[in-house]
Amino acid sequence: MMNLTSTSRSCKGAMQASVLVGAMATPALAQDTEGRAMSGDLGIYYQVHGDLGSGTVPILVLHGGMGTIEADFGALLPSLAARRPVIGVEQQGHGRTGGRDTPVTLAAMRADTLAVLDALDVERVHVVGFSMGGMLALDLGVFAPERLATLTAISASQNLDGMHRAIAEMNRNPQASPSPEALKLLPSEEDFARMRAGFADNPDGPEQFQRTFAQLQAFIVTDWGWSDEELATLAVPTLLALGDTDFIPVDHAAHMAALIGAQLAVLPDTTHLSITSRSDWLLPLIDHRITTAGTGDAAFDRKWDRP
């Protein structure tokens, strides 16, 4: 694996395999409570914003690969939390959750996430996931649909083949130099440094950043994903959102939306790295998905009404 502390060119080369990177909006974020829920041998870090006893179904936010709650949802979370309780979870080896020696898998992340909801005595959530978190949201929709009221997957594909060919090929051959087309989509050296900063308080030390990166490189080339038949069984009201210059081609997202019967939104002039900073566009889209799903949460629906 390439040394992650090398030059800007090497940083871009190293990042070519991490197609699940988080967005870069990191404003200060007030939190009401934080804690850890045990999932097997690991304490999974979480934050809660708002009152889980309010009677409204909370929103669950799931970050992308190499991301954290603040890094990926810093721009969105304050507005979401003003309307309804929000739970944020940091996955295995990310942010303030320590690592495991076992591989990163969607099944493991699903179990860890459900362990947090169980510890908080939360039956159902409106899940909003970005990139790897969007993949996890889809996985929850397929394998634990009873825990979801609605599902919003941002910049998530059906499988590795659903990503742009240049991105998929970089993941299959991480030592190859990225093409000019792919280079335009990759994080800068400054972006890369901000991602590393999110691991400063990891229980296993900041070195966990490099270990997690290696685990995600291994994960992304496994057979994760869902067949067309599996996605067609997903019955949770779903929104798929992506940028017009994302890691996922628009036609692939349209294919997924047709299988699921999902709402589809393509944000203009938007990349994988910038999409979660587009809070002015994403918030009404999440609003529309929730309020058109017929959740019966009238008190919450009124909070989203606009003058």
**CB-based burial label for 8 (10 Å; 0-12, 13-18, 19+):** exposed
CATH number of the domain where residue 157 is located: 3.40.50.1820
Task: Please check whether residue 1 lies inside any domain of the structure.
Answer: no
- Residue numbers in the chain where pLDDT is lower than 70: 1-31, 295-307
Task: Please check whether residue 301 lies inside any domain of the structure.
Answer: no
Task: Please check whether residue 168 lies inside any domain of the structure.
Answer: yes
> What's the confidence (pLDDT) of residue 31?
56
Residue 46 sits in which domain range? 8-292
> What's the confidence (pLDDT) of residue 191?
86
> What's the confidence (pLDDT) of residue 295?
57
Task: Give pTM, 2 decimals.
Answer: 0.88
Place of tokens 């591989």: 103
How many domains are contained in the chain? 1
Task: Please check whether residue 93 lies inside any domain of the structure.
Answer: yes
Contact 97, 70 (CB under 8 A): no
Task: Please check whether residue 202 lies inside any domain of the structure.
Answer: yes
> What's the confidence (pLDDT) of residue 69?
97
Contact 231, 142 (CB under 8 A): yes
Torsion, CA 246, CA 252, CA 256, CA 259, rounded to 10: 160
Sheet holding 125-130, edge to edge: 33-39, 42-49, 86-89, 59-62, 125-130, 148-154, 238-245, 263-271
Task: List pLDDT tens digits, range 265-297.
Answer: 999 999 999 999 999 999 999 999 999 997 555
Task: Please check whether residue 302 lies inside any domain of the structure.
Answer: no
